[in-house]
């Protein structure tokens, strides 16, 4: 298991000039490590919209790399994001999904079916170009 703060540190180390859109529990870890805050987009009041905001930025600025730091619990509230991103075939967007084991992103409330949904085949089926799963 990789602690989410360590994943955030690794992403920050490799980000260069990428725009980073973060939300939920991933936002908490990202805020602790980001050294380019002027390139960060923090979504605190619309936590399930990070994929859409990231996609919009990647389409509007095709010369910039866009990283989305998302959380599995909030992503489950907008699964259509997979289809929208997959259909776009954008090559400058990387979507990271952090596992929220403590349900921080939903204020402690468990998400129905959270442990029964496999996001990997959903993303690939929706047209994601590449997918790598890391145990966190």
With respect to residue 132, please indicate whether it lies within any of the assigned structural domains.
no
State percent of the chain over pLDDT 70. 85
Does residue 106 surpass a pLDDT of 60?
A: no
Average pLDDT for 110-114: 64
Number of domains in the chain: 1
With respect to residue 131, please indicate whether it lies within any of the assigned structural domains.
no
With respect to residue 133, please indicate whether it lies within any of the assigned structural domains.
no
Pick from 94, 116, 121, 90: which is nearest to 26 by CA? 94
Domain with 74 in it: what CATH number?
Answer: 3.40.50.970
pLDDT of residue 119: 85
Greater pLDDT, 136 or 84: 84
With respect to residue 134, please indicate whether it lies within any of the assigned structural domains.
no
pLDDT of residue 12: 97
Q: What is the pLDDT of residues 16-31, one digit of tens each?
A: 999 999 998 889 899 9
Burial group, residue 3, by CB count within 10 angstroms (0-12, 13-18, 19+): exposed
**Domain boundaries, position 26:** 4-126
With respect to residue 27, please indicate whether it lies within any of the assigned structural domains.
yes
């Amino acid at each position: 298991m990789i602690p989410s703060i360590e994943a955030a540190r690794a992403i920050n180390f490799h980000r260069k000039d990428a725009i980073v859109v973060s939300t939920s529990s991933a936002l908490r870890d990202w805020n602790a490590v980001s050294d380019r805050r002027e390139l960060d987009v923090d979504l605190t009041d619309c936590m399930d919209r990070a994929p859409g905001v990231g996609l919009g930025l990647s389409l509007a600025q095709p010369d910039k790399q866009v990283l989305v730091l998302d959380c599995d619990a909030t992503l489950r509230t907008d699964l259509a994001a997979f289809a929208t991103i997959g259909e776009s075939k954008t090559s400058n967007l990387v979507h990271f999904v952090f596992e929220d084991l403590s349900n921080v992103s939903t204020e402690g409330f468990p998400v129905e079916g959270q442990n029964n949904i496999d996001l990997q085949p959903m993303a690939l089926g929706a047209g994601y170009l590449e997918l790598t799963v890391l145990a966190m």
